[in-house]
Structure 1
Amino acid sequence: MSLRIAVCGIHIESSTFSPHLSGTADFEVTRGRALLDRYDWLGDDWAAGVEWVPLVHARALPGGAVEPAAYDAWRAEIVEGLAEGPFDGVLLDFHGAMSVVGRQDAEGDLITAIRSVIGPEPLVSAAMDLHGNVSETLFDGCDLLTCYRTAPHVDVWETRERAARNLVTALGAGGRPHKTLVHVPILLPGEMTSTRVEPARGLYARVPEVESRPGVIDAAIWIGFAWADEPRCTGAVVATGTDAAATERAARELGQAFWDARDDFAFVAPTGSMDECLDTALKEGSPRPYFISDSGDNPGAGGADDVTYALERMLARPEIRDGSARAVYASLFDPEAVARVGHLPVGSPVSVRAGGRLDTRDPGPLLLEGTLEAVADDPDGGRVVSVRVGGLSVFLTSRRMQYRLLSSYRRLGVDVAGADVVTVKIGYLEPELFEAAAGWMLALTPGGVDQDLHRLPYRNLRRPIFPLDRDATFG
């Protein structure tokens, strides 16, 4: 069997409530051999007989909506590459929650453009994040769709391999897979749907059993993306298979299980205001290090990464200001502040305003008066600095980044094991931080990815939807 399959995608999660705009500079773009080198399964027996044709793949940290010119250029490049066909199939490697300024359903637009050039015959297989969205347009344009089964996402590459393998298998079998889409009118933040805990753990544990049934190829559950105001943002289940009845039963069974669990979803960690989290973290006898998630401005979900609310509350604590408590704040995106102090010798006194330049909600830029503690170059954050104010190390970055790896802290001379409190702009703790944390709370802070969905000004969601509308129904 000789098959020709194109590989492409635009991978970003976009908050329409964030003032940040995602432009070309925010993306890592790969083409040619570099794109194929991302996939370590290309030499496996099932993939070795395929001609994999790399087009373009653009990937960015979650952020605000994508600037139209950037999206249009990559879409055009994908279309132009596909025009060099013919192709038997297309492997779409993308997130599923991209928003583009002034438009809705970006992935639906992309699959429409792809079909306009390849026509109806080639098969398209999509590998997605479980926080993506499955619109009717995207579903209609794809033949196979699958998504991650873990949150935090530890099965990213396994999912991409599954999407590719399903595509090759389907092409070898001939014909088109059957598929069923079930929308579930639920919209929840990822921090209430972690697969570390129930009910998401049990819900996703059902997927392998369901997909192992005769006549079923794949089953997938999308939580959806809560921080974009678009009609497609909702829970979804897709099943694909070789038997139409088995495929439909699989999708409807999982959709009903998702709906039946709706009242059981809860935050993955204890929650509170920033002050309540600090009260707990600084209380005598609290375990160390104690982590606090500054969840409302989490850049890993699209936050601007420069809201200063949580930092202001930390600086208001006398025990942090006088150094009797050792604390870390990771981080604020502020290239201007980094440029002002990053050239100084370590140990220099500094006075610099930081944060609040993109997301200008109160309290806005804060004056940091202290000592330049460390300067480094970070592969994610660019030039980064640590400013010490009393007992608090404040990390400032030149690029938006999420301090999810311990190596990023060590790069600025911080071992989190020696800290009393570590506040990080994140939602649920990524694996390394989860292992390092002796205690943890999720602060319900303001920002473009506010965990309290009732505070967000939705206008375009398909309503009613749970939990915004308690009268939502399913089936």
Structure 2
Amino acid sequence: MTSLRIGIAGIAIESSTFSPHRSTVADFRITRGRDLLARYDFLAGELVEGIEWVPLMHAVSLPGGPVTAQAYAELSDEIFVRLRQARPLDGLFFDIHGAMSVLGRTDAEADLIEGIRAITGPELLVSASMDLHGNVSRRLAIALDLITCYRKAPHTDAWDTRERAIRNLVRRLRSGGRPGKAWVQVPVLLPGEKTSTRLEPARSVYAKVDEVEATDGVLDAAIWVGYAWADEPRCQAAVVVTGDNRAVITAKAAELARAYWDARSDFAFVAPTGTLAECVRQAVASPARPFYISDCGDNPTAGGAGDTSWTLSELLHSPEIVDSERTTLYAAIVDPVAVAAAVAAGVGADVWVELGGHVDAGPCGPVALRAKVDAVDLGDPVAGTAVVLVVGGLHIIATSRRKPYHLEADFTVLGLNPRKADLVIVKIGYLEPELYDMAADWLLALTPGGVDQDLLRLGHHRIDRPMFPFDPDMADPDLSPELLA
């Protein structure tokens, strides 16, 4: 069997252009060499026989604000240098998210792959794996040979998608020939909390992807929701169907695009919604425990700064939360200065802090409070240091670095028991699987922040128009796919 040399590289982050946070190199976890190969534990059998995998560099970050130009240059330049050293390659696995925004750029992933192509030439076969909340511009679609994305939200199939992208690449390298790509954008821009595949219509729309992929002449099919919290022309839904039968992939891409467009008005929030005050009142009155509330406007897994303090201020002024025997957990707010003060004071001490609102000060600004230091964890691999500050019945988790709270262990390591709590309020959008299974009931609070669910009040001005829901009465668009070589 002819030996293949396949490189692995990528930069993966979801970036809200409405967040004042700035993502630097320090925000990324960078892997190289054996550590990068170990990232893909499915590399076995036909995926290693006769293949030399060449780890270049991969950088991944928690979603945040735009990447600084300096950080992008540093990360991309390392990929380019390593790529020059690794030549010749037969193929490249391009492991990205698809919603990276870089200050001064409007299509960062297309810039990155075009920079790679400038080094390797056009012959290199490239396969990309993406998040379904990524964006697929025409430039990006042209520069890639194979492209696929997740089919589930929450993303329980993330690693299955990467494996599919790699298997498609290996098989195509061995069989020869470049597949065709039928690409079409759909002028719809919706948040992930309205397009979860847990419920209709996304469940049925995404079920069609599997049906299309099983069609003769089709290699892969994908629908991207797009990323709602960046203000760039590429931000909208997209469809790509890949295969060797040009007529079939074009027809199937049109079919998927039409299904998504026709369902546009049926997409609804994944949970009942309300203002924070409405959600708190309902949670307090309900017998369901634990009752979860999503503080979705500052969700760090969508790009929120993580230090928006508006919700915290509202909770501190809510007697049913603070002046109560109920236990309410709030996770979390990032503030390295306040955390350092709590650590210095020590467990059991009272501490005065001005918490949050230093990065994203728009909705509120820092909140002054006196709290008891209830717990300290100095070694959290994501949060750095995490502390619990208690004000009456409210237990506030504060961290020195941004961290999403998705797992029961995130709470229990701090001595908190979310299963025994009355209310658990988390900076999150749709609940991740472990919290979803734990919640006796759940509401989505429409709170302010860099990933505000109210897209109309965010102020997009660079997206292509007309676009649903910004232009609800727009005429039906031309959804004819373009066949890309």
TM interval, short-chain normalised: over 0.9
- Whether contact under 8 Å (2:363, 2:448) holds in the other structure is no
Please state how far the C-alpha of 1:159 moved relative to its aligned partner: 0.5
Structure 1 residues 25 and 46: alpha-carbon distance in aligned structure 2, compared to 1, 3 A threshold: closer
- Whether contact under 8 Å (1:327, 1:391) holds in the other structure is yes
Please state how far the C-alpha of 1:439 moved relative to its aligned partner: 0.9
User: Is 2:356 aligned against 1:355?
Assistant: yes
Q: Deviations over 1:365-396 (max 9, x none)?
A: 11221210000132211100000100010010
Task: Pick from 245, 248, 270 the counterpart of residue 246 of structure 1.
Answer: 248
- Whether contact under 8 Å (2:363, 2:449) holds in the other structure is no
**Alpha-carbon distance in structure 1 between the residues aligned to 2:167 and 2:313:** 50
- What is the root-mean-square deviation of aligned Cα atoms in Å? 1.0
Q: Which runs of 5+ in 2 are unaligned?
A: 479-485
**Alpha-carbon distance in structure 2 between the residues aligned to 1:276 and 1:123:** 53
Task: Pick from 405, 408, 425 the counterpart of residue 406 of structure 1.
Answer: 408
Q: Which residue is 2:184 aligned to?
A: 182
Please state how far the C-alpha of 1:330 moved relative to its aligned partner: 0.5
User: Is 2:274 aligned against 1:286?
Assistant: no
- Whether contact under 8 Å (2:373, 2:388) holds in the other structure is yes
**Alpha-carbon distance in structure 2 between the residues aligned to 1:277 and 1:423:** 10
Please state how far the C-alpha of 1:446 moved relative to its aligned partner: 0.4
**Alpha-carbon distance in structure 2 between the residues aligned to 1:47 and 1:221:** 29
Q: Which residue is 1:113 aligned to?
A: 115
Of residues 104-113 and 76-85 in structure 1, the stretch that sits farther from structure 2 once superposed is 76-85
Task: Pick from 168, 171, 178 the counterpart of residue 169 of structure 1.
Answer: 171
- Whether contact under 8 Å (1:223, 1:235) holds in the other structure is yes
Of residues 314-323 and 103-112 in structure 1, the stretch that sits farther from structure 2 once superposed is 314-323
**Alpha-carbon distance in structure 1 between the residues aligned to 2:182 and 2:45:** 30
Of residues 199-208 and 217-226 in structure 1, the stretch that sits farther from structure 2 once superposed is 199-208
- Whether contact under 8 Å (2:25, 2:75) holds in the other structure is no
Task: Pick from 447, 470, 473 the counterpart of residue 472 of structure 2.
Answer: 470
**Alpha-carbon distance in structure 2 between the residues aligned to 1:217 and 1:77:** 32
Please state how far the C-alpha of 1:471 moved relative to its aligned partner: 3.2
User: Is 2:23 aligned against 1:22?
Assistant: yes
Please state how far the C-alpha of 1:205 moved relative to its aligned partner: 1.1
Q: Deviations over 1:437-459 (max 9, x none)?
A: 11110010000000000101111
Q: Which residue is 2:454 aligned to?
A: 452
Please state how far the C-alpha of 1:474 moved relative to its aligned partner: 2.2
Q: Which residue is 2:268 aligned to?
A: 266
Aligned residue type for 2:305: A
TM-score, with length taken from structure 1: 0.98
**Alpha-carbon distance in structure 2 between the residues aligned to 1:13 and 1:286:** 37
Aligned residue type for 1:69: Q
Q: Which residue is 1:214 aligned to?
A: 216
- Whether contact under 8 Å (1:286, 1:439) holds in the other structure is no
- Whether contact under 8 Å (1:288, 1:419) holds in the other structure is yes
Of residues 409-418 and 359-368 in structure 1, the stretch that sits farther from structure 2 once superposed is 359-368
Q: SS in structure 2 opposite 1:353? A: strand
Please state how far the C-alpha of 1:219 moved relative to its aligned partner: 0.1
Q: SS in structure 1 opposite 2:92? A: strand
- Whether contact under 8 Å (1:320, 1:327) holds in the other structure is yes
- Whether contact under 8 Å (2:271, 2:443) holds in the other structure is yes
Q: SS in structure 2 opposite 1:157? A: helix
Aligned residue type for 1:243: N
Q: Deviations over 1:412-431 (max 9, x none)?
A: 11111111111100000000
Q: Which residue is 1:45 aligned to?
A: 46
% identity of equivalent residues: 56
- Whether contact under 8 Å (1:42, 1:48) holds in the other structure is no
- Whether contact under 8 Å (1:203, 1:257) holds in the other structure is yes
**Alpha-carbon distance in structure 2 between the residues aligned to 1:278 and 1:319:** 9
Aligned residue type for 1:418: K
Matches within 5 A, 1:217-232: 217-232=219-234
**Alpha-carbon distance in structure 1 between the residues aligned to 2:43 and 2:263:** 39
**Alpha-carbon distance in structure 2 between the residues aligned to 1:172 and 1:45:** 11
- Whether contact under 8 Å (1:464, 1:471) holds in the other structure is no
- Whether contact under 8 Å (1:147, 1:159) holds in the other structure is yes
**Alpha-carbon distance in structure 1 between the residues aligned to 2:148 and 2:26:** 29
**Alpha-carbon distance in structure 2 between the residues aligned to 1:303 and 1:63:** 6
Q: Deviations over 1:34-85 (max 9, x none)?
A: 0000111222224332111000000000000001111111211111222231
User: Is 2:77 aligned against 1:81?
Assistant: no
Q: Deviations over 1:119-139 (max 9, x none)?
A: 111111000000000011100
Structure 1 residues 362 and 471: alpha-carbon distance in aligned structure 2, compared to 1, 3 A threshold: closer
**Alpha-carbon distance in structure 2 between the residues aligned to 1:331 and 1:48:** 46
Q: SS in structure 1 opposite 2:6? A: strand
Q: SS in structure 1 opposite 2:265? A: helix
**Alpha-carbon distance in structure 2 between the residues aligned to 1:403 and 1:48:** 40
Q: Which residue is 1:372 aligned to?
A: 373
Matches within 5 A, 1:105-144: 105-144=107-146
**Alpha-carbon distance in structure 2 between the residues aligned to 1:201 and 1:48:** 37
Q: SS in structure 2 opposite 1:371? A: strand
Aligned residue type for 2:105: R
Q: Which residue is 1:13 aligned to?
A: 14
Q: Which runs of 5+ in 1 are unaligned?
A: none
Please state how far the C-alpha of 1:345 moved relative to its aligned partner: 2.6
Aligned residue type for 1:344: A
- Whether contact under 8 Å (1:280, 1:286) holds in the other structure is no
User: Is 2:60 aligned against 1:59?
Assistant: yes
Q: SS in structure 2 opposite 1:181? A: strand
**Alpha-carbon distance in structure 1 between the residues aligned to 2:364 and 2:90:** 55
- Whether contact under 8 Å (1:8, 1:54) holds in the other structure is yes
Q: Which residue is 1:345 aligned to?
A: 346
Q: Which residue is 2:439 aligned to?
A: 437
**Alpha-carbon distance in structure 2 between the residues aligned to 1:42 and 1:308:** 44
Aligned residue type for 1:220: A
